[in-house]
Amino acid sequence: MSFSGIADRTCDALALSLSSGACRVTELLLGGNGITSKGVTTLAAGLGALRALDLSANLRMDGAAAVALAKALPSSSLHSLRLAGCKVDKKGCGRLAAALLSSPLSNLDLESNRFGNDGSDEFAWVLGQCDALTSLSLADCNIEADGADELLEALSDPDAKPSLRSLDLRWNQLDASHVGGNGISADARVDVSGQKQKSAEERQTAHLEQTWQEAKAAKAAGKKAPPPKKLPKWVREQQAQQQARNAASQAGQGTGDAMG
């Protein structure tokens, strides 16, 4: 079930409905709305039989949202949680990591939360003990080489048997020792492609190129071209902010030239 244009007040009704025995909703898509940590805290208290929750790009959240969800995870039925671009911080990472030890969660997406090594270390310390987690996305989280080393050590520990099958570390700050077949990139479970931080414009270009290639392939195969993929809301907002800054800069230059 998907909702758009909602805020905290709607979370009260959703939590009430989800926690009722009659509710059969198992997937809730709430990405790109105006929900704050207060709304998430309410929602976390009534997850019911929900198995998948997407809260990505709710830009008004702060670290308290992840803490509230972490508290609810062990007693919930959630198998998939997406918090991409939700301002998850080190504390939130720590609480989520601890919750993974007793939670059925198998997919956790924390893309574009800038917690860096401090946050990724929290997960590295528990990966070897997680029985359910199979997919973890830490893409675009400002992780550097030291953080990657901690994750690699957790995955390669002979005394641990992590259930993780996929670790996304794209768009981070890893150096050459971690790409090109060395270091953490030698592990088949880890995706370290595209380590340079990409601007919203660069990522849009890559997105458009992929869409064009898919349309070209579909045409060659005599199939209808797939519809264009919509960029995530947080990327579009970054683009709008950058365009506004560029316009302001150009306006300032024009004023200076006129005065000169």
Q: Which of 13-17, 143-147, 156-160, 199-203 has the lowest mean pLDDT?
A: 199-203
Claim to verify: residue 128 and residue 90 sit in the same structural domain: yes
Q: How many Å apart are CA 245 and CA 255, to the nearest integer? A: 15
pLDDT attached to residue 197: 47
| 148 in the same domain as 253 | no
Does 192 or 174 have the greater pLDDT score? 174
CA atoms 192, 198, 202, 203: torsion sign: positive
Whether residue 184 contacts residue 149, with contact meaning beta carbons closer than 8 Å, is answered with yes
Range of the domain at 240: 204-259
CB atoms within 10 A of CB 241: 11
Is the model's pLDDT at 202 over the cut of 70?
no
46-55, 157-166, 181-190, range with the lowest pLDDT: 181-190
**Helix axis angle, 63-72 to 90-100, nearest 10°:** 10
Q: Does the pLDDT value for residue 65 go beyond 60? A: yes
Residue 63: its pLDDT value, please?
94
- 133: how many CB neighbours lie within 10 A of its CB? 25
CB 97 within 8 A of CB 125: yes
Which candidate, 83, 33, 48, places its Cα nearest to that of 62?
83
Strand order across the beta sheet in which 27-29 lies? 27-29, 52-54, 80-82, 107-109, 135-137, 166-168, 190-191
Asked whether residue 247 falls in the same domain as residue 193, the answer is no
216 and 126 fall within a common domain: no
**Residue 99 forms part of a structural domain:** yes
Q: Is the domain of 246 the same as that of 164? A: no
Same domain as 168, residue 210: no
170 shares its domain with 187: yes
90 in the same domain as 124 = yes
Say how far residue 205 (Cα) sits from the centre of its chain: 20
* 53 and 179 housed in the same domain: yes
Statement: residue 108 has pLDDT above 60: yes
**Residue 215 falls within a domain, yes or no?**
yes
pLDDT in the model for residue 236: 67
- Which CATH number is 107's domain given? 3.80.10.10
Residues 172 and 92 reside in one and the same domain: yes
> Does residue 171 carry a pLDDT above 60?
yes
Q: What is the pLDDT of residues 125-146, one digit of tens each?
A: 999 899 999 999 999 999 998 9
Average pLDDT, the chain: 83
Per-residue burial over 159-194, b if 16 or more Cβ lie within 10 Å, else e, is eeebebeebbbbbbbbeeebbeeebbbeeeebebeb
What pTM was computed for the model? Answer: 0.73
Residue 248, in any domain of the structure: yes
